[in-house]
Amino acid sequence: MNNNQYDYDLFVIGAGSGGVRASRMAAAFGAKVAVAEDRYMGGTCVNVGCVPKKLYVYASQFSNAFKDARGFGWDSNTPQFEWATLRDNKITEISRLNSVYDSMLGNAGVEVINGRARFIDNHTVDVNGKQFTAERILLATGTWPFIPNFPGSEYAISSNEIFDLKTFPKRLLVVGGGYIAVEFAGIFNGLGAQTTQLYRGPLFLRGFDEDIRHFAAKEIAASGVDLRFNSNIAAIEKLADDSLRAILEDGSSIDCDAILYATGRKPHIQDVGFDRVNVALNDDGTIKVNDEFQTSEASIYALGDITGGMELTPVALAEGMALAKTLYNNEPTQVDYDTIATAVFCQPNIGTCGLSEQQATEKYTDIAVYESNFRAMKHTIGGRSERTYMKLIVDKKTDRVVGIHMVGEDAGEIIQGMAIAMKAGATKAIFDSTIGIHPTAAEEFVTMRTARAS
C-alpha cells in the first residue's frame, strides 16, 4: 500500500491507547506505519492513569476488607501498610506492560521510533534530528495535568507524580472535583492517610446525575474523607520540617505532607511544531477535527483526549479503530458516542450510562424515574454502614431506558452489562421481564417496579 512518494503511509505521534490501536490496525490492513513516542509505551492509561490507579484502588480496599472479615468470623487484625511494596510492585507491572505494548507494535509490523516528533511541514516530521515523510500524520498525544500558577504552586504535585512518591503522605490534601480527584481521595483515605478534598464549587462531579452526586458525597464523607466544598487554595507554604501549609481563600489553613492538584488536563501539544502546519484549534485549546478525525490540514489527523471529546481509554480505542478502517480498509466507520458507559472508581464506586435525570428532562417530554437505596447484604454482617443507590430513567413515550446510574460496590462491573442492554434499545418492560440473579445487588435493576413520585 505504501506510496513510494513518502516513507510511510501513516506516521503516528504518540503511543497511547488511540495511537497504538490506530497504528496496529492500519498496519494489519496493509499500511506502512511508524509510531514516535518520547515518554512511555501505552500512554497515560497504562503508565499514570487507569491501570496504576485501579491497582491502587484494589490496595486501598483491603483496609475495609480486614475490618469486614471480623464480622464473618475471621480473627483479623489490620496489618501495617507498606507504601514502598505497593509502589515498587506497580512499577514492575507497568514495566511489563510497556514491553507488551512494544512487542505488540513490533509484531504488527509497526516501526517504533523513540523520541519527540515535531512537524516540519504537513507531510514531514523530525525525530531526534532525522526527518520522516508520510502521506498522513496522526496526532495522538493525549492530555497532560494542569496545575494553575499561584504562590507556592511549585509545591503541588499532579496525578503523574502521586503514584511514585518516595514516602507515603500521612496527610494528603486533594484539590479538584472531577473523577481523578475523587478517586485519589478515596485511594489515600483507604490506604490510611488523613485525606482532605477541596473543591471550589458547591458539589463535586459536575456533569453527573444530581442524585448520584449527592449520594456519593454523603457516602464518601462517611468513609472518612474530609470533603470541603466552596473552598480553594490561595497559596502554599513549605514548612521547616518539609511539610506543607495550604492557605485557603477564607484565611484558614491546612497542614499536610502532600498536595495533589487534580483540577483538569490540557492537550499535550506543546513543542510539536504547530507553527509549521495549519491545524486549527477549538476555543478550549483542543484540536478541531471532523467526523473522520481529520484536522483543518488535510493530511493531519487527531484523535483521543486532544480532540476535546470524552476522555476515556475505550473511546480513544474506538476512534483508532474507526480511523484505520476508514482510511486503510475501505470501510467508512464512525464512532457512536451515545450510551457510553463509564465508572468512577471512588469508594463506593460510581457507574453510569446514558442520560442524567436533568438531561433526560430536557430531551423528553415525560420521563419516569425508578430508584433503590439499600444497605448491601455483605455489610449487614461486615458491619459497614455504607449504602448503595441505583437509578433508572425511562422515556415514558417509548418505554426505553435512557439513563442508568449506580453508586455502590462493583458499580463499574454491573453497569457494563447494563450498557449492552441500553445499546440494544432495552425497554423498562424488558428489564422487568428479566429474572434477576439472587442474591446480588445487580438484581435491583430488574426488580424496580414503582416509579418515583414526580
Q: Is 114 left (phi over 0), alpha (psi -120 to 50) or beta?
A: beta
Which residues are paired to 194 by β-bridges? 171
Structure letter (DSSP) for residue 347: S
* CA 294 from centroid of its chain's CA atoms: 24
What is the length of the chain?
A: 454
CA distances from 323 to 176, 317, 327, 331 (A): 34, 10, 6, 9
**438 catalytically annotated:** yes
Q: What span, in angstroms and rounded, lies between the C-alpha atoms of 291 and 327?
A: 13
Within 192-312, where are the H helices? 210-223
CA distances from 336 to 26, 139, 304, 305 (A): 20, 21, 14, 16
Contact 375, 388 (CB under 8 A): yes
The residue type at 119: F
Cell of 247: 492557605
Identify the active-site residue in 214, 379, 405, 438.
438
Q: What span, in angstroms and rounded, lies between the C-alpha atoms of 173 and 254?
A: 8
Structure letter (DSSP) for residue 370: E
Catalytic annotation, residues: 438
